[in-house]
Amino acid sequence: MTTTQNKDFISLEENDLETQISNAQLALDLKEINKAIGLFEDILKNNPINSRCTYGLGNCYYELEEYETAILYFKKVIETENEDNSDAYVMLGICNMFLAELFDTDDFKYEKEAIKYYSKVIDFYPKKIDAKILIDLALAYTYMRDCDNAILYFEKVIEIDKENADVYIKSAGLCSFRGESNTALNYAL
């Protein structure tokens, strides 16, 4: 089934659940966020444990930069019995990292949450690990001033992407912060 370029939504039987989900996802993909929220919420009224719709709502609120609300929906996805919750764990990590950048807390609440959820991806879904997750982990540890773990994850990024100059610079900065000038130079060169 295809959609047309003029943003037409799929029109089949209104009661067809897959069509309703496709329409809601299409609205989200087209950045018609409020429409997508309404469509996902309508579906959830009759199917309250539909994890695809719950995940879609999480993405809607993520797009609106309402990270705390998005987190609530992504946590609901994890509470349902799915074979693969990796995307929800990744989004929980991402949302918490955005909150960490917005709110500087003494207890590093958001950084710890991001680490917890990204660690779930590493532990249970190793094929989903990419440089972005590892960089976020390194940054979370950097914000917490845990240079050892930050450098550890930056080194893992370097294993995946040897051309990522930003990671070398951040690693050099952390080594310099720890007073390890020679190690910092190795990363800088």
DSSP character string of 46-63: H-TT-HHHHHHHHHHHHH
CA gap 127, 145 in Å, rounded: 28
CA gap 50, 47 in Å, rounded: 6
pLDDT value of position 8 = 52
Hey, is 13 helix, strand or coil? coil
**Residue 157: alpha-carbon gap to chain centroid:** 17
CA gap 142, 160 in Å, rounded: 20
CA gap 38, 44 in Å, rounded: 10
CB 92 within 8 A of CB 74: yes
pLDDT value of position 29 = 96
- Counting as low any pLDDT under 70, the low residues of the chain are 1-15
- Say how many C-beta atoms besides its own lie within 10 A of residue 135's C-beta: 21
Task: Tell me the pLDDT tens digit for each residue of 65-105.
Answer: 999 999 999 999 999 877 889 999 999 999 999 999 999 88
pLDDT value of position 15 = 60
Contacts of 76 (CB under 8 A, 6+ apart): 51, 54, 58
